Amino acid sequence: MEPLAKSLRNRLDALLARADIEIDGERPWDIRVYEPRFFQRVFAEGTLGLGESWMDGWWDCEALDDMVCRAWHANLPRHVRPTRDLPRVALARLHNRQGRRRAWEVGLRHYDIGNELYRCMLDRRMIYSCGYWKSAADLDAAQEAKLDLVCRKLQLEPGMRVLDIGCGWGGAATWAAERYEVSVVGVTVSRRQAALARLVTANLPVEIRVCDYRDISGRFDRIFSIGMFEHVGVRNYPRYFDLVRRCLIPDGLFLLHTIGSNESVACTDAWFERHIFPNSMLPSAAQITMAAEGRLVIEDWHNFGQDYDPTLMAWHDRFEAGWSHLDHTRYDERFRRMWRFYLLASAGGFRARSMQLWQIVFSPDGLPGGWRPENIR
């Protein structure tokens, strides 16, 4: 091993020791390095280099989720600050990376990569967000519990008109229309999602629109947004909440279901932005409350971030079980390693509670008598 690589290995050894992780150790959470250039790449590029070198097969780990959880618990990301990432972070602070021109990119690069992939990975209703595992024993039950939790928090009643911002493949709209006898308008920037959602909801009072959230019009009794706010961007939060208030009737309710960050940032992790969710960012509690101030009243804030760990692990298990049935000319082995890193690293992050999952209920001006959550959760 060359002197530089050896020096960097020793440096990484010392960092990993804080999390009880060893290089070429024998425990499931230890990492095995096959390519000496791995060490320089990690210190130069941070998580981007870590993830891309995994995709390239430079290193491996039997229990990647456990390794990431340990790394977060030991706060290791704070000790690797790659200089190559500074321009990206500075640019995110100066420019609106989630403007109209970029709004469709995540649809094309993530949600449009194949309904067959998501059908393989997700539950039978194809719900691509955190399940609610309080009383659930499997993924289908956890997702149905989450959908019903949303509807009960919104106090849906027959005949109401409901807006679903970021409707995915129509699973939530279907649940609300069938179980609560409401009509739903669902909005997505993914044309493939919309095509399948229209088939799923064909015999229901559901309209699926392909448009940017900024172009939504109409008035609604209730609004919900499940797993879409992560694509809005902090510079657009005030406009987003303005839109919600404009579209909501005076005594209406809005439920926001979003992943949350423990710290206020301007952009997402470099590897996730390049390979999974372009132009995304996780909101902090401070960013949400600041943008909602003067626009909406917070009625309830519910955190069940711990439930994303079993959700992601269930997705991973289903993805691995269904891998042989996917088109490998479209999804090659490098894609498989990328997707595995996405699911397992995310699970480890939620297990360490470095990320949260919030359901926040808003009203335009505060419900008379207040919002009563006692019998809902």
Q: Which CATH superfamily is domain 101-363 in?
A: Vaccinia Virus protein VP39 (3.40.50.150)
Structure-token match 């360490």, residue found:
352
CB 370 within 8 A of CB 299: yes
CB 33 within 8 A of CB 59: yes
DSSP annotation of 99: S
CB 292 within 8 A of CB 241: yes
Write down the H helix ranges in the chain: 3-17, 37-45, 47-55, 64-73, 86-94, 105-106, 115-121, 139-153, 171-180, 191-200, 237-247, 270-275, 285-292, 308-322, 333-351
What is the reported pLDDT for 299? 96
The closest alpha carbon to 145, from 136, 155, 157, 156, belongs to 136
Maximal CA-CA distance, the chain? 72
- Model confidence over 259-272: pLDDT tens digits? 999 999 877 889 99
DSSP SS3 for 62 = coil
Tokens representing 16 are 């990993």
What is the reported pLDDT for 138? 98
- The whole-model pTM stands at 0.94
CB 210 within 8 A of CB 220: no
Helices 285-292 and 237-247, interaxial angle, to 10°?
50
CB 50 within 8 A of CB 338: no
pLDDT < 50 regions, the chain: 88, 90
Separation of alpha carbons 364 and 295, rounded Å = 7
The closest alpha carbon to 240, from 248, 250, 229, belongs to 229
- What are the Cα distances from residue 22, in Å, to 13, 19, 59, 110? 7, 9, 13, 34
CB 214 within 8 A of CB 243: yes
The domain locations on the chain are: 3-81, 101-363
Tokens representing 328 are 């490998």
Beta bridge partners of 210: 188
What is the reported pLDDT for 77? 80
- What are the Cα distances from residue 61, in Å, to 53, 337, 354? 12, 12, 21
- Model confidence over 20-47: pLDDT tens digits? 999 999 999 999 999 999 999 999 999 9
Helices 139-153 and 171-180, interaxial angle, to 10°?
60
What is the reported pLDDT for 375? 63
What is the reported pLDDT for 90? 47
